[in-house]
């Protein structure tokens, strides 16, 4: 009998267990050595009369309350699906080991049943792996749309408050250098967090019986 090459979910587990998109790098372990802080010049106020500014949306997604919340939701689903796949993979490996151990002593009928069980588990694991990745991708897209829907009005409010005509996205805007005083990331963060807190309070008041 040819050696059985069962489906290995290792690569899928790595894929499903990757870090959340909305908070990339937020869960990295801190360095053991604390580097000396470089002396930086004091921040300058936003220039009066400036009509251009920029926002680092990666920082907004990573540091905002809403971004962290959505990243945690994605990671929770990712871990749940990863654990489910790990359990199925363990069961598949146990079935493969049983077949290998009994191949020389089991009847042809018993070996056939074991092989059929392995085939079934392998197909199920492949399907569940694809489904798990689809579930995570769908949640990422859904929460990404919700995040953008919440962020859009905030960007407009900040731009109007600062009287700027164009607001660039720093990480994908093709800007090689920009005056740090034109950075409105902190403005966006504060306003988005305030809006999130107000929404949470409204939801709580709606749920609280009067």
Task: Judge whether 191 and 158 are in contact, CB under 8 Å.
Answer: yes
Domain span at 153: 49-207
Per residue in 48-89, pLDDT tens?
A: 899 999 999 999 999 999 999 999 999 999 999 999 999 999
* Report for 14-23, 28-37, 45-54: range of highest mean pLDDT: 45-54
Residue 12 lies in a domain: no
Residue 156 lies in a domain: yes
H or E, element range at 130? helix 108-162
Distance, in Å, from the CA atom of 44 to the CA atom of 182, rounded to the nearest integer, reads 9
Domain count, the chain: 1
Distance, in Å, from the CA atom of 139 to the CA atom of 126, rounded to the nearest integer, reads 20
Token duo for residue 113: 């049943």
Residue 80 lies in a domain: yes
Residue 33 lies in a domain: no
Distance, in Å, from the CA atom of 149 to the CA atom of 51, rounded to the nearest integer, reads 24
The model's pTM is: 0.74
Q: Name which of 128, 114, 27 is nearest 86 in CA terms.
A: 128
Residue 161 lies in a domain: yes
């Amino acid at each position: 009998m040819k050696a059985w090459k069962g489906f290995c979910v290792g690569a899928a587990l790595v894929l499903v267990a990757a870090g959340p998109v909305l908070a990339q790098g937020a869960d990295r372990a801190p360095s053991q050595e604390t580097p000396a802080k470089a002396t930086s010049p004091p921040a300058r106020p936003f220039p009066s009369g400036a009509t251009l500014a920029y926002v680092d949306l990666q920082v907004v997604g990573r540091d905002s309350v809403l971004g962290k919340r959505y990243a945690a939701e994605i990671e929770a689903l990712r871990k749940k699906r990863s654990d489910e796949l790990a359990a199925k993979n363990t069961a598949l490996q146990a079935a493969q080991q049983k077949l290998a151990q009994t191949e020389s002593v089991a009847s042809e009928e018993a070996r056939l049943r074991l092989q059929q069980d392995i085939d079934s588990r392998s197909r199920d694991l492949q399907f569940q792996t694809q489904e798990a990745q689809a579930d995570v991708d769908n949640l990422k897209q859904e929460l990404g749309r919700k995040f953008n829907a919440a962020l859009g009005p905030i960007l407009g409010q900040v731009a109007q408050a600062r009287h700027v005509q164009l607001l660039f996205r720093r990480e994908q805007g093709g800007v090689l250098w920009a005056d740090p005083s034109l950075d409105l990331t902190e403005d966006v963060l504060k306003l988005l967090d305030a809006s999130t807190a107000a929404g949470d309070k409204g939801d709580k008041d709606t749920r609280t019986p009067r």
